[in-house]
Each structure stands twice: as structure tokens, then as C-alpha cells.
Structure 1
Amino acid sequence: MKTVKNPAVVPTFTASQALATNLQRALVDITALSLVGKQIHWNVVGPNFRDLHLNLDEVVVIAREGSDTLAERMRAINVFPDGRPGTVAAQTSVPVAPEGAVITSDAVDYIVAAINAVVTTLREIHDDVDEADPSSSGILEDFTQRLEQQSWFLSAQNYSA
């Protein structure tokens, strides 16, 4: 039997490379969503401005909570998260945000596409993450549900009867 000098620093679980890669994909996308959400929030103009402006902040709050929760989970399972701007820009599946003023209907279309890109990533990696670490998959499920709800709330603004 091996003697451990300080058992408090010995991890109970260490992520495989595949799990680390999947969680990094989720981290990059949800981090990008928080950034583009603020970009649109600052530059939206037009009808229903105030409601959309405030709803975009709700999306950003969810994305920031998601990035922090994912990064802290990664550290708990001995993975080093990489949320540096260059990494996020190079690896995200979130579409590039428009520059300058964005009319509300276009802002809705864009942010829904951005949310859906993140949700697609979360759904693509879910089963592999669940198999490797059910605790981490619960995080994906929570943020998938919350983001899908925001996608629905936002997209409803551009529906017509």
C-alpha cells in the first residue's frame, strides 16, 4: 500500500483527455456567448429596445455563470480551463457578432443563433461527458435548459401570427 503524505491534495477523480476536451469546448462557447451578448446589448437600437436590452443581460448572466461553473468543475477534476481571449476567438462555434448599431429584429436573430450554437455544442458533447463524468453532465444539462428557454423567449419577439 502506498503512503500519501497529504491526502487532501490527492484528487478523487481526474478527467480523461476526451472529457477535458469536451468541457473545454463548452467553456469556450459559453464564454463567447457572454461576450457577444454584451456586444449586442450595447449596440441594439430600434423598437422594443429596452426589453431586449434587459433580456440580453439575462443571457449574459447565464453565460457568465456557466463559464465560471464549467471552469471550476474543470479545476475540480484536474483540468486547466483556457478562457483566454485568443483561445475563445479561435475555437468558438458562436457566430461573429455584427459591428455597430444592430436593429432589434436583427439583434434577436443574431443572439438566438449564438445561443443555439452554444446549445448545439452542449448537446453534442453531453452523452460522452455523461459517460465519463455524470457530475459534469449535470452542469451541461442545467445550462442547456436555461439557454434553450432564453432562445425561446427571444425568438418569440420575431414571430408573426
Structure 2
Amino acid sequence: MATTATHHDKHVSHPVFVGDETFAGHLQQVLVDLTDLHLQGKQAHWNIVGANFRDLHLQLDEIVDAARDFADDVAERMRAVYVVPDGSSARVAAQSSLPAFPTGEVDTGEAIDKIVASIYAVCATARRVHDEVDAADPTTADMLHEILTRLEQLAWLTDAERRQPGTAVPKPINA
């Protein structure tokens, strides 16, 4: 009996690099954390109240845009190296390594502390997986560099609102 060729049988491309399970897991974690940062930023954006509301409201838009754009970049990179991303709400809720963001109204000062902690949590994930990603694919590691550069800048810009010249020390991520 002859077998009928399917569309899949005709796929003959041979990519130079295909991400393995470890590589995929690392990028999946970065994707989840970036997606959660995007969601937390919107939660904060909608619910902050207090001093410097407008400035923080606009700053949160920058954070949300960066997180969303980077999540898209990571997911598309995953597809480019034959890895299937999962940005579903169930996956994000189950796998995020970010500290939870409060519900309801949040004072601007508390929101700054919480969102900066979440930005640094994403950075911690990117730094934790960096060396193994770099060993497998330096091109993807370059993407992690870009993410770290921008997110650490946004953390600094946001956290500066709470700093006191010469006296403040950055708080640990899990304070």
C-alpha cells in the first residue's frame, strides 16, 4: 500500500540552529516573566494614586511597552529557532518568577517599589539563563543583553523617584 505524502513530508528546510529543550526552557521563562511584567505594569498604571501620579502613570507606559515589545521579540526568536512559545495566561500565572503585584488602588511610592522589584526579577531571570543561552546561541544572548540594558535603565529611572541623595541604597529584589 502506497503512503500519501502530506504537506509536512514536503518540508525540507534544514535550519543551522534549532533550540534544544534547555534552551527552550530558558527562553520560555524569560517570555513568561516579560509577559507578567507587562501585565503588572498595566495593573499599576490603572490603579496608582498619590504623589507624582501623572509622571509614574506615563513611566509605567514605557515599562509596559518595553516588556511587551521584548516579549514579542523573545517569542519570535523562539519560533525562528524552531521552539514553540507559550504566552498563555495559565502558563504565565503558573510559571512567573516575579513577586505578585497588589490588587486595588496602590500608592505611587509602593507601586514604584513593587514594579522595580518586578523589573529586577526579569533581569535576574535573563542573567541566570544568559551563559547557557550564550553557549548554545550567541545571537540569542545578544537579545538578552538588549533586554537587560533597557530594563535595568527603566528600573533605575523609576527607582530614582524614591531615592534620597547620598543616603538611599537600592532595596533587594525580595525585600
- How does the TM-score come out when normalised to structure 1? 0.94
The residue aligned with 1:56 is: 60
Structure 1 residue runs of 4 or more that deviate by more than 6 Å after TM superposition: none
The residue aligned with 1:145 is: 149
**Match of 1:96, SS?**
coil
For the pair 1:31 / 2:35, whether they are aligned, the reply is yes
The residue aligned with 1:108 is: 112
Aligned partner letter, 2:57: H
Residues 120-139 of structure 1 mapped to structure 2, 5 A cutoff: 120-139=124-143
Aligned partner letter, 1:12: V
What percent of counterpart residues are identical?
50
Aligned partner letter, 1:78: Y
- The whole-number CA distance in structure 2 between the counterparts of 1:136 and 1:160 is 37
Shift of 1:146: 0.2
The Cα offsets for residues 104-136 of structure 1, whole Å up to 9 and x where unpaired, read as: 100100000000000000000001100001111
Structure 1 unmatched runs, 5+: none
- Is the alpha carbon distance of 1:6 and 1:25 closer, same or farther for their aligned partners in structure 2, counting shifts above 3 Å? closer
The residue aligned with 1:99 is: 103
Aligned residues between the structures: 157
- Is the alpha carbon distance of 1:103 and 1:17 closer, same or farther for their aligned partners in structure 2, counting shifts above 3 Å? same
The residue aligned with 1:47 is: 51
Structure 2 unmatched runs, 5+: 1-8, 166-175
Shift of 1:6: 5.4
Shift of 1:13: 1.5
- Higher helix residue share: 1
Choose 1 or 2 for highest CA Rg: 2
Shift of 1:139: 0.7
Aligned partner letter, 1:104: T
- The whole-number CA distance in structure 2 between the counterparts of 1:74 and 1:80 is 6
**Match of 1:29, SS?**
helix
- The whole-number CA distance in structure 1 between the counterparts of 2:28 and 2:74 is 8
Structure 2 residue corresponding to 1:77, chosen from 74, 81, 88: 81
Shift of 1:16: 1.2
Structure 2 residue corresponding to 1:21, chosen from 16, 21, 25: 25
Aligned partner letter, 2:51: P
